[in-house]
Amino acid sequence: MSYQQTYQRSLSDPNGFWSEAADLIDWYESPEIVLDESAAPLYRWFTGGVVNTCYNAIDRHVDGGRADQLALVYDSPVTDTVRKYTYTELRDEVAKLAGALRSLGVDKGDRVIIYMPMVPEAAMAMLACARLGAVHSVVFGGFAANELATRIDDAKPKAVMAASCGIEPGRIVEYKPLLDSAIDLADHKPDSVLMLQRPQARAELIAGRDHDWAESVAAADPADCVPVAATDPLYILYTSGTTGVPKGIVRDNGGHAVALAWSMKNIYNVDPGEAYWAASDVGWVVGHSYIVYAPLLHGCTSILYEGKPVGTPDPGAFWRVISEHGVAVLFTAPTAFRAIKRDDPDAEHLARYELDKFRTLFLAGERCDPDTLHWAEDKLGVPVIDHWWQTESGWPMISNPMGIEPLPVKPGSPAVPVPGYDVRVLDDEGAEVASGDIGAIVVKLPLPPGTLPTLWNADDRYREAYLERFPGHYLSGDAGFKDEDGYVSIMSRIDDIINVAGHRLSTGAMEEVIADHVDVAECAVIGVADQLKGQLPVGFVVLKSGADRKSDEVVDELVAMMRERIGPVAAFKQAAVVERLPKTRSGKILRGTMRSIADNEDWTMPATIDDPVILDEIGAALEGMGYAGG
Ligand code: COA
Ligand code: AMP
Which portions of the chain are predicted below pLDDT 70?
A: none
Q: Which ligand is nearest to the CA of 140?
A: 1
The response to whether residue 167 sits with its C-beta less than 6 Å from ligand 2 reads: no
Side chain identity, residue 220: A
Helices (H), 57-186: 60-61, 87-103, 120-132, 145-155, 175-185
* CB of 109 closer than 8 Å to CB of 102: no
Judge if the beta carbon of residue 141 lies within 6 A of ligand 2: no
Q: Closest residue (by CA) to atom 1 of ligand 2?
A: 390
In order, the DSSP letters of 192-244 are EEEEEPBTTBPPPPPTTTEEEHHHHHHHPPP-PPPPEETTSEEEEEEE--SSS
DSSP 411-454: TT--BEEPTT-EEEEE-TTSPBPPTT--EEEEEESSP-TTS---
Question: What separation in angstroms does the CA of 213 have from each of 90, 180, 228?
Answer: 16, 17, 26
Atom 24 of ligand 1: nearest residue by CA position: 569
CB-ligand 2 contact for 364 (6 Å cutoff): yes
CA dist., res. 314 & res. 292, Å (int): 26
3-state DSSP call for residue 102?
helix
Cβ of 388 below 6 Å from ligand 2:
yes
Residue from 389, 144, 363 nearest 249 by CA: 389
Specify the pLDDT at position 625: 93
Say whether 288 sits in a helix, a strand or coil: helix
Q: Kindly give the distance from the C-alpha atom of residue 550 to the centroid of ligand 1, in angstroms, as a whole number.
A: 31
Q: What is the per-residue pLDDT across 413-461, written as a single tens digit (0 to 9) for each?
A: 999 999 999 999 999 999 999 999 999 999 999 999 999 999 999 999 9
Backbone phi and psi for residue 556, each to the nearest 5 degrees, phi listed first: -60, -40
Whole-angstrom Cα distance, residue 573 to residue 63?
52
The minimum-distance atom of ligand 2 relative to the CA of 497 is 12
| Strand ranges, E, within 253-335 | 275-278, 301-305, 327-332
Please tell me if the CB atom of residue 386 comes closer than 6 angstroms to any atom of ligand 2: yes
Question: What's at 611, amino acid-wise?
Answer: D
Closest-CA residue to 617 (of 607, 608, 628): 628
| Ligand with minimal distance to 334 CA | 1
- Looking at the CA of residue 335, tell me the nearest atom of ligand 1: 34
Residue 268 Cα to ligand 2 midpoint, Å, equals 18
- Would you say domain 501-624 falls under CATH 3.30.300.30? yes
Fold of the domain built from segment(s) 3-307+387-480: Rossmann fold (3.40.50)
- Per DSSP, 344 falls in state -
CB 496 less than 6 A from any atom of ligand 2: no
User: Ligand 2 test: best mutation among 338, 499, 507, most atoms within 8 Å of CB?
Assistant: 499
Question: Which residue's CA is minimally distant from atom 9 of ligand 2?
Answer: 390
Residue environment code for 613-630, b if the CB has 16+ CB neighbours within 10 A, otherwise e: ebbebbbebbeebebbee
| Torsion angle of C-alpha atoms 35, 38, 41, 44, degrees rounded to 10 | -40
Distance CA 132, CA 513 (A): 38
Beta bridge partners of 225: none
Residues paired with 526 in a beta bridge: 538
**What pLDDT shows up at residue 312?**
98
- Residue 460, class by beta-carbon neighbours within 10 Å (0-12 exposed, 13-18 middle, 19+ buried)? exposed
215: burial class by Cβ within 10 Å (0-12, 13-18, 19+)? exposed
Does ligand 2 lie within 6 Å of residue 367's CB atom? yes
Tell me the Ramachandran region of residue 628: left when phi exceeds 0, alpha when psi lies from -120 to 50, beta otherwise.
left
Name the DSSP letter for residue 570.
G
- Give the ligand 1 atom nearest the CA of 166: 1
> What is the 133 CA–ligand 2 centroid distance (Å)?
29
Ligand 1-lining residues (CB < 6 angstroms) = 117, 141-142, 166, 168, 173, 280-281, 284, 286, 308-310, 333, 335-336, 339, 365, 501-502, 532, 568-569, 571
> Which residue's CA is the nearest one to ligand 1's atom 46?
280
**365 within ligand 2 shell (Cβ under 6 A):** yes
Q: Report CA torsion sign: 403, 49, 72, 122.
A: positive
Distance CA(36)–CA(229), nearest Å, equals 14
User: How many Å lie between the centroid of ligand 1 and the Cα of residue 569?
Assistant: 6
pTM for the full predicted model = 0.95
What's the CA gap between 577 and 521, in Å, rounded?
A: 11
Burial class (CB in 10 A: 0-12, 13-18, 19+), 302: buried
**Cβ neighbours of 426 (radius 10 Å):** 18
Q: Which ligand is nearest to the CA of 367?
A: 2
How many angstroms separate the alpha carbon of residue 307 from the centre of ligand 1?
10
Residue spans per domain, the chain = 3-307+387-480, 501-624
Probe residue for ligand 2, chosen from 239, 280, 504 as the CB with the greatest number of ligand atoms within 8 Å: 504
Instruction: Write out 348-394 in H/E/C secondary structure.
Output: HHHHHCCCCCCCEEEECCCCCCHHHHHHHHHHHCCCEEECECCCCCC
Instruction: With H, G, I as helix, E, B as strand and everything else as coil, classify residue 151.
Output: helix
DSSP output for 125-145: HHHHHHHHT-EEEE--TTS-H
CA–CA separation, 388 and 414 (whole Å): 6
Distance 365 CA to ligand 2 centre (A): 4
Residue 145 C-alpha to ligand 2 middle, in angstroms? 25
For 131-159, how does the pLDDT look when each residue is reduced to its tens digit (9 = 90+)? 999 999 999 999 999 999 999 999 999 99
